[in-house]
């Protein structure tokens, strides 16, 4: 009997112990964060997942690009204050000169840019690798050397020489000699690694050279004004050859650049910690008298980066991320659809819960568009179907209630799309909006009837459109690139839209990998697609419908219009900085939209709208979705965060007590009964 009593007593003690330790030993993290941040300016952020890589040549996603820009620098970057987005020199001393006769850009580099101190620059590390030396040697840093134009030459060559570089498409066929260099590198990569290394280090690309340490030149095979935007992306940064050779594949996690922050710690699935680079050059916060920039006045002229440390936590789920934000442990947050009603009222304002904490809301239109690419080679919806195919495409465009889609599935975080380019891009005019990209199912039915289809009502808001040639209902299958609950809801939405014009819209949901294969091979009638603009030039989006790009995997609909192709070829090399060319570009964008409105290869859906929440201690930059290098300009009043977050982290006794009693009272009663009965 003593044994049973002992076990009961032990279990009761264990439960009590857990509850007591829970109530006293744990608590929230606000106080420990405040203590950790004392005396420093610390930005606290979250990411939904780890960056795929911090190797800038392989960084194709926004998360990876954001982290690459903490450490690596391009020749140019986006101005922090000016909108619309404008490029300014970064490691370049001034904006480049362009020789129209030779199609050559010449950049002059700053003289005060150094790579971060790192083991790879230590004399003892010469000829050795990280794999040989291991982590223990990382504490013995070498002095970072000065950045030269040869680093850019080498980095551009590396982008062309590694098989899994994500950004090579930006330079392919454009820089003189780069294709030949690339093909040879690919041959050597698997056949002869030593020869590949020699090719990378000593091989020449005809169109990339450095006449001296401070001058970098790039010559093109055709005018390529988008090049300046392209190099402001992570693909255009300078990497140190010593670092890549020392770290090997580990360079993806051990970046060594010239940028404002040094990666201090990356614990996978948990956190990334960046700290101010001690060797960062004397760059100052830009000055401006513009009243719109008044909130940045306290920082103007201050040395960059403003923050001493940037702490990213990896939080996969939206609820914990939002709760951490509400607790003040994270400075900024997006709003997931599950948290939307907690944060935003139906009047599109902040809820009192957030307002009382001083949280602020900022919204802006993202350059991300969603659309359905219709396969123009398909016998039912494409060009081979002639007028009937066109009528189906028109009906599909007219049956989608975009406002409803945005309301239901995006919590209002979107704008109905009628253009292929976002409203912030040059060339956008209200008038160029495509007329068929609107919600008018009655007109859709009329179009189908006019093309010879039989449209009959089969219920309230339900129609059936029959193809007289086959006697069957018109059917369109959309390939959806996700396979989750949200995509199932979306499939139901598409079907309900199709019902309004009598077209049966079926959906095939699949993994992104499978979707990519099907859409690249154009095996399917319609592909649910999306595109995030890489740089603020209309060409970036208009290329998605350029005929030859069907083979390149960008033009999923396989649209190949003579008129459109001709206009695209004229538009692509136009330089917006030249007034005459700019005017012509505006005309062409308008005419290309008119051409698309005639053929309708896409059903436009929406542009995304970002809702960003941030705390009162955080100085939010004006939005620029193309810029990743703004972290150095951002400031957080860390003592204020500590004070407020700690004050919000009170630990009420009553709920804990009640909860404990809820478990302990029945457990105690039961235990006493057991002991009594056992006696």
Partner 1 sequence: MLAYVLRKLAYMPLILMGVILITFLLFFVVTSPEALARMRVGSKASQQQVCEWMATNGYITWTEEGRAKRAAPPEKTPDAADTEQGKVFEEGKDFTRTSNLTLFGRYLSDLARFDYGLDRRDRKVTAVLYEGMWASLALTVPAFFIAEILGVFFGLIAAMYRQTRIDHALVLSAILIMSVNSIALYMFGQKFLAAEWNYFPVTGFGEGLNAARYLILPILLYVFISYGEQLRFNRIVMLDETNQDYVRTARAKGLDENTVLFKHVLRNTLIPLITRWVVAIPSLYLGALVLESFFGIPGLGYLTVDAIANSDVNIVRATVVLGSITFMLANLLSDVLYAVADPRVKLS
Instruction: Choose the stretch contacting partner 1; rule: CB under 8 A; options: 105-113, 263-271, 428-436, 451-459.
Output: 263-271
Q: Residue 84 carries which DSSP code? A: S
Q: How far apart are CA 372 and CA 395, in angstroms?
A: 13
Among 562, 579, 580, 676, binds partner 1 (CB under 8 A): 562
Among 547, 623, 639, 668, binds partner 1 (CB under 8 A): 547
User: What x-and-dash track marks residues 43-72 binding partner 1 by CB under 8 A?
Assistant: ------xx-xx-x--x-x------------
Place of tokens 């936590």: 313
Total residues contacting partner 1 (rule CB under 8 A)?
Answer: 93
| Cβ atoms of 418 and 397 closer than 8 Å | no
Give the contacts of 87 (CB within 8 A, at least 6 positions apart): 76, 77, 78, 79, 95, 228, 229, 232
Q: Residue 473 carries which DSSP code? A: E
Strand (E) or helix (H) holding 79: none
The answer to the question of residue 172 lying near partner 1 (CB under 8 A) is: yes
What are the strands of the beta sheet with 215-219, ordered from one edge?
A: 97-99, 104-108, 215-219, 208-212
The answer to the question of residue 488 lying near partner 1 (CB under 8 A) is: no
Count of CA atoms in the C-beta half-sphere (13 A) of 201: 11
The answer to the question of residue 183 lying near partner 1 (CB under 8 A) is: yes
Among 16, 138, 186, 488, binds partner 1 (CB under 8 A): 186
Instruction: Choose the stretch contacting partner 1; rule: CB under 8 A; options: 100-108, 247-255, 393-401, 632-640.
Output: 247-255
Q: Residue 91 carries which DSSP code? A: S
Instruction: Choose the stretch contacting partner 1; rule: CB under 8 A; options: 178-186, 203-211, 386-394, 429-437.
Output: 178-186
CB of 657 to partner 1, least distance (A): 11
Q: How far apart are the first and last CA of the chain?
A: 7
CB of 570 to partner 1, least distance (A): 8
| Cβ atoms of 392 and 503 closer than 8 Å | yes
The answer to the question of residue 26 lying near partner 1 (CB under 8 A) is: yes
Instruction: Choose the stretch contacting partner 1; rule: CB under 8 A; options: 212-220, 248-256, 302-310, 408-416.
Output: 248-256
User: What x-and-dash track marks residues 503-542 binding partner 1 by CB under 8 A?
Assistant: --------xxxx-xx--xx------------x--------
Tell which positions 586-645 bind partner 1, by CB under 8 A. none
The answer to the question of residue 16 lying near partner 1 (CB under 8 A) is: no
Among 37, 118, 166, 245, binds partner 1 (CB under 8 A): 166
The answer to the question of residue 179 lying near partner 1 (CB under 8 A) is: yes
Give 286 or 656: the residue with its C-beta nearer to partner 1: 656
Give 37 or 380: the residue with its C-beta nearer to partner 1: 37
- Residue 112 in 3-state DSSP? coil
Q: How many residues does the chain have?
A: 679
Among 98, 169, 426, 630, binds partner 1 (CB under 8 A): 169
The answer to the question of residue 657 lying near partner 1 (CB under 8 A) is: no
The encoded tokens of residue 93 equal 């001393």
Tell which positions 193-212 bind partner 1, by CB under 8 A. none
Instruction: Choose the stretch contacting partner 1; rule: CB under 8 A; options: 296-304, 323-331, 421-429, 470-478.
Output: 323-331
Place of tokens 């979306």: 490
Tell which positions 402-441 bind partner 1, by CB under 8 A. none
Asked if the bond preceding 322 is cis, omega within 30° of 0, the reply is no
Among 85, 125, 217, 326, binds partner 1 (CB under 8 A): 326
Q: How far apart are CA 632 and CA 637, in angstroms?
A: 15
The answer to the question of residue 320 lying near partner 1 (CB under 8 A) is: yes
Could you give phi then psi for residue 307, rounded to 5 degrees? -90, 145
Among 84, 301, 384, 548, binds partner 1 (CB under 8 A): 548
Q: How far apart are CA 506 and CA 529, in angstroms?
A: 16
Q: Residue 168 carries which DSSP code? A: G
3-state secondary structure 297-323: HHHCCCECCCCCEEEEEECCCHHHHHH
Among 129, 279, 473, 565, binds partner 1 (CB under 8 A): 565
The encoded tokens of residue 487 equal 């995509």
The answer to the question of residue 329 lying near partner 1 (CB under 8 A) is: yes
């Amino acid at each position: 009997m003593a044994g049973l009593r002992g076990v009961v007593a032990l279990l009761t003690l264990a439960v009590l112990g857990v509850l007591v330790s829970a109530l006293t030993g744990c608590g929230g993290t606000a106080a420990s964060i405040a203590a950790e941040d004392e005396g420093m300016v610390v930005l606290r952020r979250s990411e939904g997942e780890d960056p795929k890589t911090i190797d800038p040549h392989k960084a194709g996603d926004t998360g990876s690009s954001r982290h690459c820009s903490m450490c690596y620098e391009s020749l140019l970057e986006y101005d922090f204050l000016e909108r619309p987005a404008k490029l300014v020199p970064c490691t370049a001393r001034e904006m480049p000169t362009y020789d129209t006769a030779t199609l050559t850009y010449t950049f002059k580099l700053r003289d005060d840019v150094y790579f971060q101190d790192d083991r790879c620059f230590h004399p003892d590390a010469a000829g050795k690798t990280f794999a040989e030396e291991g982590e223990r040697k990382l504490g013995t840093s070498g002095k970072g050397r000065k950045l030269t134009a040869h680093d850019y030459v080498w980095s551009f060559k590396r982008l062309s020489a590694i098989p899994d570089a994500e950004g090579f498409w930006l330079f392919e066929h454009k820089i003189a000699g780069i294709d030949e260099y690339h093909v040879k590198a690919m041959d050597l990569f698997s056949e002869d690694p030593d020869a590949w290394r020699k090719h990378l280090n000593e091989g020449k690309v005809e169109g990339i050279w450095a006449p001296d340490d401070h001058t970098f030149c790039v010559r093109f095979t055709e005018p390529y004004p988008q090049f300046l935007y392209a190099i402001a992306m992570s693909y255009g940064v300078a990497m140190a050859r010593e670092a890549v050779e020392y770290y090997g594949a580990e360079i993806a996690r051990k970046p060594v650049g010239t940028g404002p922050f040094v990666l201090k710690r990356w614990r996978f699935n948990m956190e990334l910690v960046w700290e101010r680079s001690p060797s960062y050059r004397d760059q100052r916060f830009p000055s401006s008298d513009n009243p719109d920039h008044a909130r940045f006045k306290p920082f103007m002229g201050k040395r960059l980066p403003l923050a001493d440390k940037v702490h990213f936590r990896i939080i996969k789920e939206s609820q914990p991320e939002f709760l951490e934000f509400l607790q003040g442990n994270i400075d900024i947050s997006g709003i997931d659809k599950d948290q939307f009603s907690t944060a935003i009222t139906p009047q599109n304002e902040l809820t009192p819960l957030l307002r009382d904490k001083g949280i602020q809301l900022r919204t802006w239109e993202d350059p991300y568009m969603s659309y359905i690419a219709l396969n123009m080679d398909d016998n039912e919806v494409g060009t081979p179907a002639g007028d009937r195919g066109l009528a189906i495409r028109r009906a599909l465009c007219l049956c989608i209630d975009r406002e409803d889609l945005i309301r239901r599935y995006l919590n209002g975080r979107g704008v109905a799309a009628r253009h292929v380019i976002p409203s912030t891009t040059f060339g956008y005019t209200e008038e160029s909006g495509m007329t068929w990209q609107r919600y008018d199912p009655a007109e859709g039915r009329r179009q189908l009837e006019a093309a010879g289809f039989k449209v009959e009502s089969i219920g309230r808001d339900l129609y059936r459109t029959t193809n007289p040639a086959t006697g069957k209902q018109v059917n369109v299958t959309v390939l959806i690139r996700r396979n989750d609950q949200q995509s199932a809801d979306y499939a139901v939405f598409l079907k309900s839209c199709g019902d309004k014009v009598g077209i049966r819209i079926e959906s095939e949901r699949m993994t992104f990998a499978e979707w990519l294969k099907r859409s690249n091979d154009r095996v399917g009638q319609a592909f649910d697609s999306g595109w995030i603009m890489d740089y603020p030039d209309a060409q970036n989006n208009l290329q998605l419908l350029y005929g030859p790009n069907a083979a390149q995997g960008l033009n999923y609909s396989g649209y190949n219009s003579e008129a459109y192709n001709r206009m695209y070829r004229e538009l692509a090399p136009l330089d917006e900085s030249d007034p005459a060319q700019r005017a012509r570009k505006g005309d062409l964008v308008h005419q290309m939209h008119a051409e698309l409105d005639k053929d309708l290869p896409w059903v436009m859906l929406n542009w995304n709208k970002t809702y960003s929440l941030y705390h009162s201690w955080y100085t939010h930059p004006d939005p620029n979705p193309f810029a990743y290098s703004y972290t150095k300009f951002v400031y957080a009043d860390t003592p204020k965060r500590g004070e407020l977050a700690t004050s919000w982290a009170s630990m009420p006794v009553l709920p804990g007590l009640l909860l404990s009693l809820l478990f302990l009272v029945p457990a105690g009663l039961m235990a006493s009964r057991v002991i009594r009965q056992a006696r």
